[in-house]
Structure 1
Amino acid sequence: MNIPNRITLSRILLIPFFIVLLAVPLDWGEIEIGEGTLPISHLAAAILFIVASTTDWIDGYYARKHNLVTNLGKFLDPLADKLLVSAAFILLVELGLAPAWIVILIISREFAVTGLRLVAAGEGMVLAASQMGKLKTWIQIIAISALLLHNFPFSLMGFPFDVVALYAALIITVISGIDYFVKNWHVMRDSK
């Protein structure tokens, strides 16, 4: 397994630690942020999430720079993104920081695209992530980070950046899903 694929795998291996930080009631205290508070466990989870998310850029950059792009990497990279983002969104719903209906739509798109990739794999094709799909992932990461940080530092200015980012993530997620199916509809049409 090459270095970019190991970096991608490390992103997957960080997910359980991220889940523990948010799902286990850790009472590490809170930080005052304007009129609200930010649990230290949420801050730690946000930092871990951002570090794990950054590996998405690192593995792709390294793979392209050193010509190490593989079919395994094309499969693992979007899977790692989906696992991390889905875990984060589900936990945000549990914590009451994101509406369930938005998360259901976002995760449904991820399942649909994964299903299309599986059909393609059955036909011997690997569908790499599109540029719009990559943009979608980064907007989702920004929204999740803002929600995990309880909208800090924007809460100090009274600007609901976390909500704006979440709706932007929803919109680009839906649009990129439609775009992905339109561009790859031949996979469904031509499948045996």
Structure 2
Amino acid sequence: MTGDIWTLPNALTGLRLLAVPVLGAVLVASGDTSQGRWIALALFLAASLTDVADGWLARRRDQCTDVGALLDPIADKALIATALICLSGLGLVPWWATVLVLAREAAVTVLRFAVLHHGVIPASRGGKLKTATQTTLIVLALVAPGWTQLLDAVVVATVCWTVVTGLDYGAKAAALTRTRPPSLRPAAFPGPDLPR
């Protein structure tokens, strides 16, 4: 971890955070129109690309910072949560799916901070796939809201995988607390490649 917070990766994370209220405003104001959904799609994809870029740049430039490690998952979750809540408000994604996804994300966030004194659990491929399924759901709902059968299938797959990876994270956290004694101070904040 470096001490300098003024880095390009952190700037990209900041831009992603700034994109969240803009995305929400577009969906609330014109999400019921095709033009509004395309604008929202462009914003969502651009913000999602910054998630890929900031982690890659932070590792490549050796610019991993505590601030970036803290803000990166917050920005990711805020982006996904805002999109899902707005899409549910528009009737494009069922509320039960959004509630389950957000409950899992909140539970994992609380659990992650609860076990920091024991260590950090590295990200799994399942967690990365979970993010990919959530992104696919949001993109599909924006691009083709009329494809109800396909959309329903993606909703079920996304929710199931989100819940499964949440349970897996809980099991790993429990194992960590049993095998590692707590340290005197919390472990470093999880970086861009740590549990989501």
Q: Quote the residue 2:46 is aligned against.
A: 51
The answer on 1:106 being equivalent to 2:117 is no
Q: CA deviation at 1:91?
A: 0.7
Aligned partners of 1:128, 1:51: CA distance in 2, in Å? Answer: 26
The residue that corresponds to 2:66 in the other structure is 71
How far off its partner does 1:66 sit? 2.0
Alpha-carbon distance between aligned partners in 2 of 1:183 and 1:19, rounded to the nearest angstrom: 34
Matches within 5 A, 1:1-192: 1=5, 2-25=7-30, 39-121=34-116, 123=117, 125=119, 129-151=123-145, 155=147, 160-186=149-175
Give the % identical residues.
36
Partner secondary structure for residue 82 of structure 2:
helix
Q: CA–CA distance in 2 between the matches of 1:12 and 1:164? A: 30
Deviation at 1:11, TM superposition (A): 0.6
Contact 1:85 1:141 in 2 (8 A): yes
Please report how far the alpha carbon of residue 112 of structure 1 lies from its aligned counterpart in structure 2 after TM superposition.
0.2
Across the aligned residues of Structure 1 and Structure 2, the Cα RMSD in angstroms comes to: 2.5
Residue 147 of structure 1 deviates from its aligned partner by 0.4
Q: 1:3 to 1:43 in 2, by over 3 A?
A: same
Q: Which residue of the partner structure matches residue 188 of structure 2?
A: none
Whole-angstrom distance in 2 between the partners of 1:46 and 1:118: 32
Residue 118 of structure 1: CA displacement? 2.2
| Higher-strand-fraction structure | 1
**Structure with more contact order per residue of length (Cα contacts < 8 Å, sep ≥ 6):** 2
User: Aligned with 2:64: secondary structure?
Assistant: coil
In 1: Cα distance, 2:171 partner to 2:118 partner: 19
TM-score normalised by structure 2 residue count: 0.79
TM-score normalised according to structure 1 size: 0.80
* Aligned equivalents of 2:119, 2:12: Cα separation in 1: 24
Mind listing any 5+ residue stretches in structure 2 that lack a counterpart?
A: 184-196
